[in-house]
C-alpha cells in the first residue's frame, strides 16, 4: 500500500471511528454507535489503516503509572509542589490516585487500542481469506492479535497482583474480544487474563511469516518477545526461555554503545536496530526526561567504564536527568528491544540452573555497553547471587520503560530480595513495603461508577 493511500484510508476510517476513552462501560457508547454509521470500515485496506494508526496503536500505549510509582527517580520537594494532584497521589502511593478523570488514561488508552485491534479483526473476518489476499490477511490478523495482547498485557501488569499459585482465584482484568459495546462486562481471573494473552500470541505466531518493514508494526519477533515477557511474569521460565530464543532467532541485533555519541543530548536514534517493537510511555510531566532526578541508588550502580553512565544521564540544574530513551525525544520509549529479550534469556537460563550459559549471555550483552577493552567478569557463582546480578542489570538497562514496577512485584513475590521503597517530601518519609497491596493500582473511579466492576483494595 502506498503512503498516500495509507494516509487516505486512515483519514477515512478515523472520521467514522470515534472511540470512547473508557471502552468498557458507560452510556457514552451510544455516541460510538451513531458515529460508526458515518463510515463503516469493511475492506482489508480499512483494517490495515486502523492498525497503522500509530497515534492509537503505538504512541502513549505504555502506561505511565508504573514509572511514576517506581524507584528509578526522585522528585525534589520544590518540583513536587508544582505537580498535578493525581501525579502527587501516584508518586506517594496514595490509596486514591485519580482526580476526576486525570490519570485514567492508564486504563482507557489500552482499551482504546484493544478496541481498534478488535475492529480490525472483525473487518478481516468479514472480508475472508482467499488466494489473492492470504499473505496480507495473515499479517494483519497477526498484528491485530499482537496489539490486543499488548493492551491486555499492560493492563494486567498494572491492575492485578503478581502472578502466583492463587492466580485462578485472583481478580484479573476485563478481557475484550469484540467491539460489542452492549456486552456485559466483568473481571476475569488473573489466570484467565494471561490465558487470553497467550492464546492471542500463539495464534499470531502461526500467522506471521516475516519481519515488518516498520517498527510500529509488530513482527514475528515481537510476538515471540511478548510471549517471553508474559511467561516471565507468570514464572514459567521454561517457556519464557523458549520464546526468548525464538525471538532472538529473528532479531538479535545489539547496539554497540562504543559507536554512539554518548555525550549527545539524545544519543539514540528512534527505531534503531535494537528496537523490536516501538511504543512510547504515555506523557506525564513528572516523568519527562528533562524533569526527573534519577535516584542515586540507581545511578551508583553504573561503573565508570559503563558507557550508559554518560549515554543515559546528564546533570542539569542540580538534577540528574534521563536522556537514554530510544524515542529520541523527552517522551520515554516503552517498547521491546533485543537487549531486553537477552536479559530475559539470561534470567531464565539462571533459573533453569544453567549458570554458565546465563553468564555467557550476560557477558555478550554487557560487551555492547562497556568501553572497548573492558574485561567483563561475572563473578557470581551461586544461583541466588547470579539472579540478583541479572535483576540489577535489568534495572540498569530497562529504566523508565514501564518495566521496573512489574519487576518489583515479581521480585517481591519471590521473597529472595524483598525491596522497600521510600519517598522524602519536605522531610516527611513515605514507604511502600514489599508485597503491599498498593502495588495493584486502582481502577479509575469513573469506570467503577459506571460499570459496577470490583475495585482493587488499596
CATH of the domain at 115: 1.25.40.390
Alpha helices in 317-368 (DSSP H): 338-351, 355-366
In sequence order, which residues have a C-beta less than 8 Å from that of residue 311 and are 6 or more positions away? 257, 260, 262, 267, 268, 323, 324
Tally of structural domains, the chain: 1
- Cell (9 digits) for 327: 524515542
The parent domain of residue 105 ranges over: 3-257+335-451
Whether 319 maps to a domain, the answer reads: no
Is 401 inside a domain boundary?
yes
56, part of any domain: yes
Task: Classify residue 176: in a domain, yes or no.
Answer: yes
In a domain, 384, yes or no: yes
Query: How many residues are given for the chain?
Result: 458
The answer to whether the CB of 44 falls within 8 A of the CB of 136 is yes
Phi, psi of 417 (to 5 degrees): -140, 70
Task: For residue 400, tell me if it sits in a domain.
Answer: yes
Q: CA 311, CA 434: separation in Å to the nearest integer?
A: 31
CA distance 348 to 158: 23
Helix spans in 251-380 (H): 296-299, 308-311, 338-351, 355-366
3-state helix, strand and coil shares in percent for the chain, rounded to the nearest 5: 50, 10, 45
Asked whether residue 289 is domain-assigned, the answer is no
Cα gap 308→126, rounded to integer Å: 49
Neighbouring residues of 387: CB distance < 8 A, sequence distance ≥ 6: 347, 350, 351, 416
pLDDT tens track of the chain, all 458 residues?
Answer: 443 344 444 444 443 343 433 344 433 332 333 444 456 899 999 999 999 999 999 999 999 999 999 999 999 888 899 999 999 999 999 999 999 999 999 999 999 999 999 999 999 999 999 989 999 999 999 999 999 999 999 999 999 999 999 999 999 999 999 999 889 999 999 999 999 999 999 999 999 877 777 999 999 999 999 999 999 999 999 999 999 999 999 999 999 999 999 999 999 999 999 999 999 999 999 998 878 899 999 999 999 999 999 999 999 988 999 999 999 998 999 999 999 999 999 999 999 999 999 999 999 999 999 999 999 999 999 999 999 999 999 999 999 999 999 999 999 999 988 999 999 999 999 999 999 999 999 999 999 999 999 999 98
CB 221 within 8 A of CB 250: yes
Within a domain: 65 = yes
Amino acid at each position: 500500500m502506498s503512503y498516500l493511500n495509507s494516509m487516505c484510508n486512515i483519514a477515512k476510517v478515523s472520521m467514522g471511528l470515534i472511540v470512547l476513552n473508557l471502552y468498557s462501560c458507560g452510556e457514552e457508547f451510544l455516541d460510538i454507535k451513531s458515529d460508526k454509521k458515518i463510515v463503516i470500515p469493511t475492506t482489508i485496506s480499512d483494517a490495515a489503516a486502523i492498525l497503522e494508526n500509530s497515534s492509537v496503536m503505538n504512541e502513549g500505549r505504555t502506561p505511565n503509572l508504573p514509572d511514576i510509582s517506581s524507584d528509578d527517580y526522585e522528585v525534589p520537594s520544590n518540583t513536587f509542589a508544582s505537580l498535578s494532584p493525581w501525579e502527587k497521589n501516584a508518586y506517594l502511593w496514595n490509596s486514591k490516585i485519580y482526580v476526576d478523570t486525570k490519570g485514567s488514561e492508564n486504563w482507557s488508552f489500552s482499551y482504546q487500542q484493544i478496541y481498534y485491534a478488535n475492529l480490525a479483526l472483525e473487518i478481516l473476518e468479514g472480508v475472508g481469506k482467499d488466494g489473492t489476499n492470504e499473505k496480507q490477511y495473515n499479517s494483519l490478523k497477526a498484528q491485530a492479535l499482537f496489539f490486543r495482547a499488548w493492551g491486555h498485557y499492560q493492563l494486567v501488569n498494572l491492575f492485578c497482583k503478581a502472578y502466583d499459585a492463587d492466580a485462578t482465584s485472583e481478580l484479573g482484568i476485563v478481557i475484550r474480544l469484540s467491539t460489542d459495546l452492549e456486552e456485559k462486562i466483568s473481571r476475569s481471573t488473573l489466570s484467565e487474563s494471561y490465558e487470553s494473552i497467550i492464546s492471542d500470541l500463539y495464534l499470531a505466531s502461526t500467522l506471521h511469516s516475516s519481519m515488518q518493514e516498520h517498527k510500529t508494526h509488530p513482527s514475528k519477533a515481537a510476538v515471540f518477545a511478548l510471549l517471553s515477557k508474559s511467561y516471565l511474569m507468570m514464572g514459567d521460565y521454561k517457556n519464557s526461555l523458549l520464546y526468548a530464543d525464538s525471538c532472538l532467532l529473528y532479531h538479535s541485533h545489539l547496539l554497540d554503545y562504543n559507536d554512539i555519541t554518548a555525550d549527545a543530548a539524545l544519543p539514540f536514534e528512534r527505531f534503531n536496530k535494537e528496537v523490536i517493537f516501538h511504543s512510547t510511555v504515555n506523557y506525564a510531566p513528572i516523568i519527562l526526561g528533562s524533569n526527573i532526578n534519577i535516584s542515586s541508588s540507581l545511578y551508583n550502580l553504573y561503573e565508570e567504564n559503563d558507557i550508559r553512565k554518560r549515554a543515559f544521564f546528564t546533570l542539569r540544574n542540580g538534577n540528574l536527568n534521563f536522556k537514554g530513551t530510544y524515542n529520541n525525544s523527552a517522551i520515554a520509549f516503552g517498547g521491546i528491544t533485543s537487549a531486553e529479550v537477552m536479559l530475559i534469556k539470561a534470567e531464565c537460563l539462571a533459573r533453569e540452573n544453567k549458570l554458565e550459559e546465563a553468564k555467557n549471555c550476560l557477558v555478550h550483552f554487557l560487551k555492547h555497553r562497556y568501553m572497548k577493552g573492558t574485561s567483563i567478569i561475572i563473578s557470581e557463582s551461586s544461583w541466588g547471587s547470579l539472579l540478583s546480578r541479572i535483576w540489577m542489570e535489568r534495572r540498569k538497562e530497562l529504566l523508565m520503560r514501564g518495566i521496573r514496577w512489574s519487576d518489583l512485584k515479581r521480585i517481591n513475590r519471590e521473597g529472595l530480595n524483598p525491596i522497600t521503597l521510600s519517598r522524602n517530601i519536605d522531610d516527611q518519609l513515605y514507604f511502600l513495603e514489599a508485597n503491599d497491596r498498593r502495588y495493584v493500582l486502582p481502577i479509575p473511579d469513573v469506570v467503577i461508577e459506571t460499570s459496577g466492576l470490583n475495585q482493587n483494595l488499596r
